[in-house]
């Protein structure tokens, strides 16, 4: 009797063990199926692929050690799948979603030593932060713009796009020192001449705006400081030269006004309508120096377009040229 019971117990144990093995095999097959589904959809449907990977890992957790290799394989695919999802969201201008998923891509990339994904995801996340910051700049929200940009700088302080946005923030704050430092940073780190030119032209526009406003309100010292700074970024900018000549005249720096205006005249290449503004400043400078002959000659050359009336006044009334 006892022998029969022992046989029953042994058979039951074998049956249970066999059943467990069958169940484990079924679960592993399900886990593998979920893994394969993720692999097939990680490019076309990364969001769905992530769910399949999560399902695979959950099943592997229930199975235990026999499924460890499948679990490891599934985890290794998270970084690339999150990267694909983030790229899609970035294309759709879903910046918040892209930021979240690029971070996930970086997290899993580091955990699973996927250096290729880390290499691609880092600059992508930097660009998204820069885009987000630029959006805040457009909305005139300097605080949020700087917060987003700081996150970008923490990841990569040598990205020119980030510094171009930083320059916009400084410009909106009328922070001249900040604008200069951002331009210098761009020039130093950029390997692309177009990026360098973009930074410098942005600087020209900023300092020209400040300088022209100062000159138009008779703050000639302030105008000279800003316009000379603009000229360091573009020595041939005719608008800067015109305002700078006017500023020098305002400060009675006659020779500098003549020299600066002559540079503008040379750049206009014998187009009288464009040269007129420079000849008018030359005339004022010679008038200030007490050189009536050269002043009259200069004002005569300025009698074109919008400068006709002002030049005529200097010739007929102020200097009485020819009398």
Question: Which tens digits make up the pLDDT trace of 260-281?
Answer: 999 999 999 889 999 999 999 9
What is the pTM assigned to this prediction?
0.83
Q: What is the pLDDT of residue 155?
A: 96
- Let me know if residue 183 belongs to a domain: no
Q: What is the pLDDT of residue 32?
A: 86
Model pLDDT for residues 278-315, shown as the tens digit of each residue: 999 999 999 999 999 999 999 999 999 999 999 999 99
Model pLDDT for residues 12-45, shown as the tens digit of each residue: 444 333 344 444 455 688 888 889 998 999 999 9
Contacts of 285 (CB under 8 A, 6+ apart): 245, 248, 249, 254, 255, 257, 258, 261
CATH code (residue 315)? 1.25.40.10
Q: Are 124 and 103 in contact (CB under 8 A)?
A: no
- Let me know if residue 249 belongs to a domain: yes
Angle at 42 between CA 40 and CA 47, to 5 degrees: 125
Q: What is the average pLDDT across 202-225? A: 98
Q: Are 53 and 34 in contact (CB under 8 A)?
A: yes
- Let me know if residue 270 belongs to a domain: yes
Displacement of CA 134 from its chain's centroid (Å): 7
Cα distance between residue 198 and residue 287, in whole Å: 39
- Let me know if residue 280 belongs to a domain: yes
- Let me know if residue 102 belongs to a domain: no
Q: Are 209 and 241 in contact (CB under 8 A)?
A: no
Give how many domains the chain has, as a whole number. Answer: 1
Q: What is the average pLDDT across 167-188? A: 97
Residue 312 lies in domain: 236-323
Two structure tokens written together for 163: 């510094």
**pLDDT at residue 9 greater than cutoff 80:** no
């Amino acid at each position: 009797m006892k022998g029969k019971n022992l046989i029953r117990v042994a058979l039951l144990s074998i049956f249970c063990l066999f059943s467990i093995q069958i169940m484990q095999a079924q679960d592993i097959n399900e886990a593998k199926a979920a893994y394969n589904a993720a692999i097939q959809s990680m490019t076309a449907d990364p969001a769905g692929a992530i769910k399949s990977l999560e399902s695979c890992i959950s099943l592997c957790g229930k199975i235990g050690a026999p499924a460890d290799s499948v679990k490891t394989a599934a985890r290794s695919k998270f970084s690339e799948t999150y990267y694909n999802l983030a790229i899609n969201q970035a294309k759709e201008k879903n910046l918040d979603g892209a930021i979240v998923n690029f971070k996930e891509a970086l997290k899993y990339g580091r955990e699973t030593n996927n250096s290729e994904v880390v290499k691609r995801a880092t600059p992508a996340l930097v660009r998204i932060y820069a885009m987000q910051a630029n959006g805040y700049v457009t909305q005139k929200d300097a605080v949020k713009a700087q917060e987003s940009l700081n996150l970008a700088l923490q990841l990569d302080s040598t990205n020119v796009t980030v510094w171009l946005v930083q320059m916009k923030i400084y410009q909106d704050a009328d922070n001249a020192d900040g604008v200069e430092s951002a331009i210098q940073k761009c020039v130093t780190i950029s390997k692309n001449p177009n990026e360098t030119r973009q930074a410098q032209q942005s600087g020209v526009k900023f300092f020209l705006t400040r300088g022209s406003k100062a000159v138009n309100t008779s703050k000639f010292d302030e105008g000279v400081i800003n316009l000379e700074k603009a000229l360091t970024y573009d020595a041939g900018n005719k608008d800067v030269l015109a305002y700078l000549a006017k500023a020098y005249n305002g400060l009675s720096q006659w020779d500098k006004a003549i020299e600066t205006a002559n540079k503008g005249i040379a750049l206009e290449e014998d187009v009288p309508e464009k040269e007129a503004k420079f000849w008018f400043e030359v005339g004022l400078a010679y008038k200030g120096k007490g050189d009536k002959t050269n002043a009259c000659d200069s004002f005569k050359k300025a009698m074109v377009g919008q400068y006709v009336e002002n030049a005529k006044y200097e010739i007929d009334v102020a200097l009485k040229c020819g009398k």
